[in-house]
Amino acid sequence: EANTLPKDDSSLENIVRRFQDSMSLSKRHKFWETQPVGQFKDVGDTSLPEGPIEPPTPLSEVKQEPYNLPSQYEWTTCDMDSEETCNEVYNLLKNNYVEDDENMFRFNYSKEFLRWALRPPGYYKSWHIGVRAKTSKKLVAFITGVPARIRVRDEVVKMAEINFLCVHKKLRTKRLAPVMIKEVTRRVHLENIWQAAYTAGVVLPTPITTCQYWHRSLNPKKLIDVGFSRLGPRMTMSRTIKLYKLPDQPVTPGFRKMELRDVPAVTRLLRQYLSQFVVSPDFDENDVEHWLLPTEDVVDSYLVESPKTHDITDFCSFYSLPSSILGNQNYSILKAAYSYYNVSTKTPLLQLMNDALIVAKKKDFDVFNALDVMHNESFLKELKFGPGDGQLHYYLYNYRIRNALRTSELGLVLL
């Protein structure tokens, strides 16, 4: 025991510790405390190295059988090619996935979106994991991973992006989530992958950064009617509608939808742009074709082709993620576009994103959302985005980052 000095309970260290213990940040996390993630007690410890927290184990030592579930439940691998399975997943999420703090809205990912999100290049079917009730075969829980190469500083790391963790409302707080997380971890390890990236609205040990959503009204009347936004002070409905009015057509010459033939140029543009951030995906042409080539009602991408040189100089994209409106007489769906990856080299980012708003409005989206990542802060206020409530925390599994990042150092958008 190196420290033989009696500990004075009133030492600053102890006062700080008792204060932290009383704060939510050091709530005990019985599960997360056992996992190779940055722990709250290590925040600020500059002696810890960046990189993997624990080394890979030999594949022969990875547990070969699934983890045990409570006896009424069984594992299932969800085949997203199957219309029937895709429907079951869609319905589980539609009824039980993420809601806002006031329970007014719930994400309603479309089936086409789920197929897109879960079948990128090199995906593993075994990472699309469901839990069924043994007797009724009803799908009651879900978690997924997809493979990605994520660059952290100058290291490209093979990771799993974990998403769509969902436990049926009737089965909450029974510690099913930790079993699901351990099972997806086991199946990722079986593919010799040892790191993961994920986001959550809840604080867990320990975010690499914490982002905020900003919202740009496109259909202010509906947003106010459904309680998504409120009339500002000293504002009337007609003044509000006028405030958010947009031109009918994009203003940038050469602004057009991305096509298959643009994949090489967009890949070059995006790789160059993303290289400046501390954490970003390492996209190749296959990834760009999958993640950014427009897919109707799923993802949209536009670019600026110089009318003179035909160079591709700028790029913007957004994905489509509607929310169910819970308990409104007049509307049942909120149509939301989410800013994805944007690159400006010639067109000012402000003008490029204004054109993105214009095309989103034409496609009948009610709201355009963006996180304060990458260079987004440079246009949010000027383009009349307002800050949302609630935060989105980004995490890495089994990879330590010494200090939390600024949101503008993050070049990663998860779905």
- Interface residues with ligand MYA (CB under 6 A) are 29-32, 96-98, 160, 162-167, 172-178, 181, 184-185, 188, 194-196, 198, 200, 202, 204, 397-398
Query: Quick one: 32 or 244, whose CB is closer to ligand MYA?
Result: 32
> Coil, strand, or helix at residue 415?
coil
Q: Are 289 and 265 in contact (CB under 8 A)?
A: no
Q: Which residues are CB-contacts of 195 (< 8 A; sequence separation ≥ 6)?
A: 52, 150, 157, 158, 159, 160, 396, 397, 398, 399
Q: Which of 366, 356, 363, 316 is nearest to 336 (CA)?
A: 366
Least spacing, CB of residue 178 vs ligand MYA, in Å:
5
Query: Quick one: 54 or 248, whose CB is closer to ligand MYA?
Result: 54
Half-sphere CA count of 413, side-chain side, radius 13 A: 23
Q: Which residues are CB-contacts of 206 (< 8 A; sequence separation ≥ 6)?
A: 37, 38, 39, 40, 42, 43, 395
Catalytic residue among 223, 380, 405, 415: 415
Query: Quick one: 181 or 304, whose CB is closer to ligand MYA?
Result: 181
Least spacing, CB of residue 28 vs ligand MYA, in Å:
7
Query: Quick one: 88 or 262, whose CB is closer to ligand MYA?
Result: 88
DSSP 29: -
- What are the start-end ranges of the H helices in 293-373? 349-362
Query: Quick one: 165 or 352, whose CB is closer to ligand MYA?
Result: 165
Q: Are 295 and 120 in contact (CB under 8 A)?
A: no
Least spacing, CB of residue 274 vs ligand MYA, in Å:
22
Instruction: Give yes or no: 415 in active site.
Output: yes
Least spacing, CB of residue 316 vs ligand MYA, in Å:
26
Query: Quick one: 201 or 348, whose CB is closer to ligand MYA?
Result: 201
Least spacing, CB of residue 98 vs ligand MYA, in Å:
4
Q: Are 413 and 277 in contact (CB under 8 A)?
A: no
- H or E stretch including 221? helix 220-225
87/82 Cα distance (integer angstroms): 8
Least spacing, CB of residue 350 vs ligand MYA, in Å:
31
Could you tell me how far CA 29 lies from the centroid of its own chain? 22
Q: Which of 317, 343, 316, 410 is nearest to 372 (CA)?
A: 410
362/236 Cα distance (integer angstroms): 24
Least spacing, CB of residue 390 vs ligand MYA, in Å:
11
Count other C-beta atoms under 10 Å from residue 340's C-beta.
Answer: 18
Query: Quick one: 121 or 147, whose CB is closer to ligand MYA?
Result: 147
Could you tell me how far CA 38 lies from the centroid of its own chain? 19
Residues annotated as catalytic are 415
